[in-house]
Amino acid sequence: MTRCCLVVTTHERPDALGRVLDAVATQSRPPDELIVADDGSGPATASVVAQHAACAAYPVVHEWQAHAGFRAGRIRNAAIARSRCEYVVLLDGDMVVHPDFLADHLALARPGHFSQGVRILLDAQATRCMLDGASGLPGLFSPGLGIVRRAYGLRSPALARSVRRLANAVVAVKACNQGFWRDDLVAVNGFDEAMTGWGSEDKELCARLENAGIHRQTLLFAAVAWHLGHPPAARASAEANRARWQDSVRLRRTRCEAGIDGHRAA
- List the domains of the chain with CATH numbers: 4-262 (3.90.550.10)
pLDDT in 10s for each residue of the chain, 266 residues:
899 999 999 999 999 999 999 999 999 999 999 999 999 999 999 999 999 999 999 999 999 999 998 999 999 999 999 999 999 999 999 999 999 999 999 999 999 999 999 999 999 999 999 999 766 888 888 888 887 788 888 999 999 999 999 999 999 999 999 999 999 999 999 999 999 989 899 999 999 999 999 999 999 999 999 999 888 877 888 899 999 999 999 999 999 999 999 997 65
**pLDDT value, residue 134:** 64
- Please write down the long-range contacts of 171-175, taking CB distance under 8 Å and 24 or more positions apart: 171/116, 171/118, 171/218, 171/220, 173/116, 173/202, 173/203, 173/206, 173/216, 174/116, 174/119, 174/202, 175/9, 175/72, 175/76, 175/90, 175/92, 175/201, 175/202, 175/205
**pLDDT value, residue 89:** 99
Taking the model in full, what pTM does it have? 0.96
**pLDDT value, residue 227:** 96
Burial 213-245 (b: 16+ CB within 10 A, else e): ebebbbbbbbbbbbbbbeeeeeeebeeebeebb
Contact 62, 46 (CB under 8 A): yes
**pLDDT value, residue 250:** 97
Q: Smallest Cα–Cα separation from 102: which of 55, 9, 33, 187?
A: 33
Beta bridge partners of 140: none
Beta bridge partners of 33: 5
**pLDDT value, residue 11:** 97
